[in-house]
Amino acid sequence: MANTSKPRPKPRPKEGKLSVYLYIPNIIGYVRVLMNSVAFAICFSDKWVFSILYFISFVCDAVDGWCARKFNQVSTFGAVLDMVTDRISTACLLVVLSQVYRPGFVFLSLLALDISSHWLQMYSTFLTGKTSHKDVKDSTNWLFKAYYGNRMFMAYCCVSCEVLYIILFLIAKSQSESLVDVLLGTLQRVSPLSVLVALSLFGWAVKQLVNVIQMKTAADVCVLYDIEKKHKH
């Protein structure tokens, strides 16, 4: 009797560490780090070159995600590299702005909120066994779900933040500007710049609100994890 069983497929060769480090999206991540390093090195000597390099690096954040899905090169290392690069880039820009505007404490507070919110969200993701910090389908907050559930809405809020910060840096004439005066003066003048600032301000405000919600939600997850752990024992 003929053997009709199908031959077993050959197992795929095991990937080495180097191959993961050389994934296309991860290489894009390294380029982003390099661009940001050059950008911040010249931020006060050439504002326009800084802004262009910084924004290109920010756009590459979406490109590396597309490449990861396109070439099936999604990796935990890549996700962490991506988030760390995003957070450090924004943090550095906020530190720069804190040296340009008064009160600088405003930008340092935004930096603290951004870092703590995303760190708590990542930590709570691991506690619950989720694969992505963007998985918030079980959240009861509609804005939180809308932010992470709609790529276009999230992109608008993220772009708004970075565009607003870059504009504020570009329009500062000295290193002791009043933040309120500069914003009000820009918004009062009818121009494409004032429209762009207004649109960016709205997206920026939504993202800060989401950061607060994210921090509280993630903190609740950590507390509930401890409570359930004690009950099991």
pLDDT tens digit string along 102-147? 999 999 999 999 999 999 998 999 898 887 888 898 888 999 999 9
**Are the CB atoms for 218 and 119 separated by under 8 Å?**
no
**Are the CB atoms for 93 and 169 separated by under 8 Å?**
yes
Give the integer Cα–Cα distance in Å for 31 and 57.
Answer: 8
Domains in the chain, CATH or no CATH each: 20-232 (1.20.120)
The tokens of 225 are what? Answer: 């994890």
Give the integer Cα–Cα distance in Å for 125 and 122.
Answer: 5
Percent of the chain at pLDDT exceeding 90: 79
| Residues 192-229: tens digit of each pLDDT | 999 999 999 999 999 999 999 999 999 999 999 999 88
Q: Which residues are catalytic?
A: 86
Task: Kindly report the pTM of this predicted structure.
Answer: 0.88
Mean pLDDT of 53-77: 93
> For residue 173, how far is the Cα from the chain centroid?
28
The runs of H, that is alpha helices, within 14-150 are 17-21, 24-41, 47-70, 76-100, 105-128, 142-149
For residue 1, pLDDT over 80 is answered with no
| Residues 149-161: tens digit of each pLDDT | 999 999 999 999 9
